[in-house]
Amino acid sequence: MSDEIILKTKNLHKRYAEGTSMEVHALRGIDIEIKKGEMVAIMGPSGCGKTTLLNLLGGIDQPSEGTIYINNQDINQLTDIEVTEFRLHNIGYIFQLFNLFEFLSALDNTVLPLLLTNITKLEAEEEAKMMLRQMGLGDKIFHLPNELSGGEQQRVAVSRALLMNPAIILGDEPTGDLDQDTSTDIMNLFVSINENYKQTFLVVTHSEHIAKFCHRIIRIVDGEIVDDGKQVEK
Amino acid sequence: MSYINNLMQKTFKRRLGKNIGTLIAIALGVSLMVGVQITITSFTSTAVDFFVDAIGENDIVISGFGLPITDYESIIDTIDNSVVDYAAINARISQNVAVYNLESGDLEKRVSFTGVELNEDPVFGKFYDENGTEMRKLDLIRHFSNESHVLLGSNLIDDLNVAVGSNIKIRIGEFDPIGLKFDYKTYDLKVVGFLNDEGKGKEFGGRALWTSIDNIRSIVGFAPNQCTDINIALSSNHKENPVDNDYAIFVEGQLKLILDAENTGLIIVAFRALLLDITDEVLADVLLAFNLFGALIIFSGILLLVNIQLIQVEDRIQQLGILRAIGARRREIVRLFMVESTVLGFIGSFLGVAGGYGMSAFLVNRIGQTFFDGVIDLKPTVTIGAVVYSIVLGLILSVGAGVFPAIRASRIDVIEVIRGIKKVGRKRTGKITLGFGLTFLLGGIGIFAAQYTVYGSFFTKAGWDTAIEQWMFMGAAAAFLIGVSFLLGYLFSRKFLGNGIGLTFVGIAIAMLIFSVTQLKDVRENSQILVTLAVVLALGSIIWVGVNLKSVTNFFRTVLYKTRLKKGVSLISSKYMTSKSMRSSLTFGIFALVLTMNIFAAVYQSTYAYNTLESVEFLSGGAPIFIELDTPIANETLVNVEQDLYAVDEAITNVKGINSTIALIQVDEEVSELEIPTDIFPSYVHLIYNDTFKEGDDYIFDFMFDTSLPYFFEDYRPGGSENYQREYSHQIWDYYYNRTKFSRDGTEIDNVEGLPTVLTTSPFLLPGNIFNITSFIGTPIEVIVLANVRQYPFSQSQGLPSLLITPDFYPKLIPNFALYPKHTRYLVSTSEDFRIGRNTEIASNIEEFFNGNGSLLVQNEDFVAASAYNVWEVMLELVDFQVKTFDFLQYFVGFGLIVGALGMIIIAVRNVAERRREIGMMRAIGYKKRQIIGTIMIEIFILALLGLVMGFLNSLMLGWSFANIYDWTLILPGWRILIYTGIMIGIAIIASIVPGIRASQITPAEAIRYVG
């Protein structure tokens, strides 16, 4: 882990239905700093604002207040096109429900982000195949999601997230749909990637078991950080 | 159970916007079905009423073919005592006359001067005065107290510019009982009253002079026991008690036997049946077009409806899994979807009926404006059958398209459904596929067996021009091949099944194009075959391309990969399309159908216009003006037309007279090729001298032969160059003049006996046909048809066909021919341009020459009613009905276009709404908004492109089939095809941009959590 700050938020607020009687103050002044190569877990009860925070960090939602720096870039200052481009190159997403395109093979699902860049389709597919092989899916690259197990599907999602060599991978309950053994496998995979490639992870979870794999646990209750956990000794 | 009902209500409310979209799409689909049916029914019934209305309740006419019927009372007694059961019978004397208002100078030709018994049965129409008050017998006795007093039909009042009390003059034939001919004289009449447009006032189109039968008998010199017509009504109210055409023709046959028509010379015709038959003939082209386009429009409506219902259900497969997980039984789930589909289908269908009524109200109004110049206020004829049919079809399709996917989905493993996974590698429908395969296979064999039993052959016996035989053979072949496809699908792969079915339909369409269409010659008989072809072609191409969508989209993807920035976009688009092949096929199917309709309409119109109008100048033989006299000029010392006409206009370069008379064609019943409604019919006979057309070796008038009928020379190529056709045409003229004996082996054309040859304009008399012509005062003459000439300019006289005969047997036909050396027709050449020259003005001057107040003929009261026609304008008028049809077709297909476009947009928007989650994922991965728009647009565009290609090819094949029926040259109107293609691309752009933009506005954070 280096000292380089890869992600930093300052006084981050998110309000839904702002100015109405239905207003919900989902995040209330979140300040986080994450270093390059760090593995961070965000924990908290349901509805505490974990996923909202993740969406703001991924640039797929806008904060009501506050700033987010990723790789020293204030992503709130970017236009929609710029933030999308930024997301493509700097952020990898892994969802709880795998979120694979059911009509695309493992290879096609993985290769998608690279196809949005300038490299040729052939090169892109080569890289994706290599990534899938590394994930242990070398014999299933042409399988559709419905032909893969849950764990395998999540590995495809991880491959897709890793392919662009992002600054940070955001995982929204990445093992939430998996049994404990498979969850452990996936988290071991994260750890191995983190150790080998110094890949930064930010994982939202409500599972202590999963959180234990991370260097640091941030706990959120009612939209506020109640504990910016110390470095977990592993 | 209540939770299902509760859920149903909640779901319905939550998805209100989507449900409204579905409702609109179903309503649009059903609107098309209802609208098309009501419009076609309204058009047919209106047109038939329009044509039949003028003849009142008259079913059968007995006439003496120009000569008086003698002893008519005993004829009526004979009928009275026979088995023929009639509602009413009358006797009349009627003659076509020219009417002159000498004060105003107005002349009206072809006015019916009719005398009736004062106690004529009211079934044949009552007399109503101009205020609509029914005239009593006493009124009639008063009106007709003077021999020269007449009542005037409503349409003559303005045309003749007369008032009650006006004096008019007619030129009328007076019968010479010794010479058995009419001598023409002028006679003064006084108008004593007007009729309104009801009862007798609407007979003869309101262009009649009415008097008592005794008055007219005195004027034309008939004996008291003579009349010209006996009319028989078989029903006193045809609207309430219609008379079957076959029955009327049967009665016609009975009367011919009872009255010994063959020897007495009585012409007995089932007039109404004949008129209805002619109406059918006239409407055949129009109805063919309506039915063809109607079938395509209805088909696109069906695709629209099924498509939207599939989207409606497929969107919620996951919900369905959750329901199963919480304990809902399969039947409850199916019930949920069935109730929802039924509600949507029912409401949508009812809205569709309303929409269809609105569509037909507009279209029917356009029919009134287009075809009847707005004189008839038309209302849509709504038949219960059409409404029930459309609602039932709408419901079946909605429920079918909604419930079947739900049934299929309800069988899938619960966990898999929840996770959106489909089980793979299992033959889910194995037994069903096998069952279908065997059923179809046995069904096909069964139909083949039935075909063999009925026709004694597996193949069609009577050729490929009968719809029922074609359907049996094609149906059997289709069932057999589909059965084989199912079995292959069961044994090997589903791809065999899809390809097999698609290729079966495409194969049948191609077989029809090769074997059947080339034999089609009768539009009326073959319209069902063309409609079948259109639907089979569309269905086959949609299924086939749909099954192979993966290969097609792979091709497009490869092309798009070349543009580096479109890689990610094209991957998602193409794979999505392939994964939803059913919906994608339905979508491009709609595009294909809408484009097929529009391009085919343009090809239809252009081909028709080119082949009927473009060739008129060529076929007119150099006679742009044709003159027709109602009687020969009595005193040629006053006017010698062939000399004096040159002074009318300096552009006149040639004038040639032709002798014409009316003769009867008696068809030999053994000539089976003739498909005519009666075996005896009148025709104009024109005497064509060798020098009429030729001066030495030069043709002055060089008429061409009709290429749409079997041609005399076997090696003739229709559609050859003008020089080529002219050369053949000259050979025909040589045969005609030289009366060469000829024989063509293996054909019906055989004149080894050297029968007199005739040329004809009748489409019923084909080369090689042998028949008699008679005038009843001469000897019947047996003749053979040499070739068919174009209808104009030889047949302008009241729609009767013409025969062109050589002078040598004219005297036989009319023994006292020597008494009639005078001409009644003239061909006129001018130096003016055929189309845009002053020929109409010259024709008008010619009429003035004969009929104007300054005319020597008029001044000497030897007037004739002359009509001078600009042939080009007559031709335009002749095709006016068809031109109007095409104008109307534009509205017809326009509805298809609008509804198709709306449907496409709704489907595209709904499609995007169901893919929110995917779009959220794409945004999360890094797809920009424009790339999201691009994904949606490429998808619609590829489908549109497929539709465009298919639509183009299908419309070409249909166009070719249509042109082939008439042996016409197929014309492809490039600009119009481009415009329609452009419109379709425009629709594709709108149908892709609207949902594309909507998609790009979806918030990714919400979208990735979307569950349907």
The pLDDT tens digits for B600-617 are: 888 888 888 777 777 777
**pLDDT computed for residue B677 by the predictor:** 41
CA distance B493 to chain A (A): 18
Across residues B914-929, what is the average pLDDT?
Answer: 81
Residues B172 and B98 in one domain: yes
Residue B376 φ/ψ, nearest 5 degrees? -110, 130
Residue A154 confidence class, pLDDT cut points 50, 70, 90: confident
Residue B44 counted as domain residue: yes
Task: Of B574, B575, B500, B588, give the one whose Cα is nearest residue B546.
Answer: B588
Of B820, B855, B887, the last residue of a domain is: B820
Residues of B with Cβ-Cβ distance to A127 under 8 angstroms: none
Residues of A with Cβ-Cβ distance to B923 under 8 angstroms: 60, 84
The domain that holds A188 is classified in CATH as 3.40.50.300
CA distance B1003 to chain A (A): 8
pLDDT of A216 over the 50 cut: yes
**pLDDT computed for residue B852 by the predictor:** 82
pLDDT > 70: what percent of chain B?
A: 84
CA distance A93 to chain B (A): 7
Whether B572 sits inside 8 A of A81 (CB atoms) is no
Q: Burial, B510: exposed, middle or buried (Cβ in 10 Å; 0-12, 13-18, 19+)? A: middle
pLDDT of B670 over the 50 cut: no
Across residues B643-651, what is the average pLDDT?
Answer: 92
Rounded to whole angstroms, the Cα distance separating B492 from B483 reads 14
Across residues B245-263, what is the average pLDDT?
Answer: 87
Range of the domain at B183: 57-237
Residues of A with Cβ-Cβ distance to B927 under 8 angstroms: 84, 116
pLDDT greater at residue B890 or residue B838: B838
Residue A31 counted as domain residue: no
Residues B801 and B920 in one domain: no
- Tokens matching residue B239: 């609207």
pLDDT in tens, B782-817: 888 888 776 566 655 556 777 888 877 777 776 655
Whether A102 sits inside 8 A of B420 (CB atoms) is yes
pLDDT in tens, B12-26: 777 777 778 778 878
Whether B926 sits inside 8 A of A81 (CB atoms) is no
CB-CB contact of B674 with B769 (8 Å): yes
DSSP string, B773-840: EE-SSS--EEEEEEEEB-STTT--STT--EEEE-GGGHHHHSGGGGG----SEEEEEESS-TTTSSHH
Residue A186 counted as domain residue: yes
Residue B955 counted as domain residue: yes
User: Mean pLDDT, chain B, as a whole number?
Assistant: 79
State the total domains in chain B: 5
Whether A115 sits inside 8 A of B575 (CB atoms) is no
Across residues B567-579, what is the average pLDDT?
Answer: 79
Rounded to whole angstroms, the Cα distance separating B595 from B945 reads 11
- Give me the residue from B420, B572, B924 closest to A93, CB to CB: B924
Whether A118 sits inside 8 A of B579 (CB atoms) is no
Rounded to whole angstroms, the Cα distance separating B939 from B922 reads 15
CA distance A234 to chain B (A): 32
Residues B542 and B569 in one domain: no
Across residues A181-192, what is the average pLDDT?
Answer: 85
**pLDDT computed for residue B233 by the predictor:** 93
pLDDT greater at residue B324 or residue A119: A119
How many A-B residue pairs are in contact by the CB < 8 A criterion? 94
Interface of A with B (CB under 8 A): 55, 58, 60-61, 80-81, 84-85, 87-89, 93, 95, 99, 101-104, 108, 111-113, 115-116, 118, 120-121, 124, 144-147, 150, 160, 164, 177
**Bridge pairing between strands A39-43 and A216-221:** parallel
Q: Residues with Cβ < 8 Å from B584, sequence gap 6 or more?
A: B546, B549, B577, B578, B943
Residue B835 counted as domain residue: no
Whether B926 sits inside 8 A of A84 (CB atoms) is yes
**pLDDT computed for residue B795 by the predictor:** 56
pLDDT of B423 over the 60 cut: no
- Give me the residue from A55, A146, A160 closest to B421, CB to CB: A146
Q: Residues with Cβ < 8 Å from A117, sequence gap 6 or more?
A: A88, A124
pLDDT greater at residue B47 or residue B740: B47
- Count of C-beta atoms within a 10 Å radius of residue B411: 12
Residue B855 counted as domain residue: no
Residue A6 counted as domain residue: no
Residues of A with Cβ-Cβ distance to B424 under 8 angstroms: 144, 146-147
Residues of A with Cβ-Cβ distance to B918 under 8 angstroms: 101
pLDDT of B496 over the 60 cut: yes
Residues B394 and B453 in one domain: no
- Give me the residue from A99, A116, A120 closest to B926, CB to CB: A116
Whether B571 sits inside 8 A of A112 (CB atoms) is yes
pLDDT of B36 over the 70 cut: yes
Residue B231 confidence class, pLDDT cut points 50, 70, 90: very high
Interface of B with A (CB under 8 A): 416, 419-424, 561, 564-565, 567-568, 571-572, 575-576, 578-580, 917-918, 920-921, 923-931, 1003-1005, 1008
pLDDT greater at residue B521 or residue A169: A169
- Tokens matching residue B206: 């309101």
Whether A113 sits inside 8 A of B925 (CB atoms) is yes
CB-CB contact of B241 with B59 (8 Å): no
> Do you find a cis peptide bond into B801, omega within 30 degrees of 0?
no
pLDDT in tens, A95-125: 776 678 888 889 998 988 888 887 888 888 8
**pLDDT computed for residue B748 by the predictor:** 60
Whether A81 sits inside 8 A of B928 (CB atoms) is yes
pLDDT > 90: what percent of chain A?
A: 5
Residues B78 and B45 in one domain: no
State the total domains in chain A: 1
Residues B451 and B466 in one domain: yes
Residues of B with Cβ-Cβ distance to A160 under 8 angstroms: 925
Q: Burial, B254: exposed, middle or buried (Cβ in 10 Å; 0-12, 13-18, 19+)? A: middle
Chain A residue with Cα closest to B570:
A115
**pLDDT computed for residue B951 by the predictor:** 87
Residues of B with Cβ-Cβ distance to A60 under 8 angstroms: 920, 923-924, 1003-1005, 1008
Range of the domain at A95: 37-60+88-231
Least confident stretch, B165-174, B341-350, B562-571: B562-571
Across residues B722-733, what is the average pLDDT?
Answer: 79
Whether B928 sits inside 8 A of A84 (CB atoms) is yes
Residue A69 counted as domain residue: no
Residues B48 and B129 in one domain: no
Residue A233 confidence class, pLDDT cut points 50, 70, 90: very low
Residue B184 counted as domain residue: yes
pLDDT in tens, B698-710: 887 887 766 544 5
**pLDDT computed for residue B216 by the predictor:** 94
**pLDDT computed for residue B715 by the predictor:** 66
- Residue B111, CA distances (Å) to B98, B159, B203, B209 in order: 6, 11, 11, 7
Least confident stretch, A60-74, B408-422, B775-789, B794-808: B408-422
Of B411, B426, B441, the last residue of a domain is: B426
CA distance B558 to chain A (A): 10
**pLDDT computed for residue B134 by the predictor:** 92
Residues of B with Cβ-Cβ distance to A57 under 8 angstroms: none
pLDDT of A37 over the 60 cut: yes
Whether A103 sits inside 8 A of B927 (CB atoms) is no
- CA dihedral angle for residue B56, residue B59, residue B62, residue B68, rounded to 10 degrees: 0
Residues B62 and B143 in one domain: yes
Chain B residue with Cα closest to A54:
B1005
CA distance A87 to chain B (A): 6
Q: Please tell me which of B144-153, B259-268, B281-290, B487-496 the model is most confident about, judged by mean pLDDT.
A: B144-153
Residues B175 and B293 in one domain: no
- Count of C-beta atoms within a 10 Å radius of residue B930: 14
Residue B148 confidence class, pLDDT cut points 50, 70, 90: very high
CA distance B441 to chain A (A): 34
CA distance A233 to chain B (A): 33
- Give me the residue from A80, A103, A160 closest to B929, CB to CB: A80
- Give me the residue from A81, A115, A146 closest to B567, CB to CB: A115
Chain B residue with Cα closest to A170:
B924
Of B385, B404, B426, the last residue of a domain is: B426
pLDDT in tens, B968-1003: 778 888 888 888 888 888 888 887 888 888 777 777
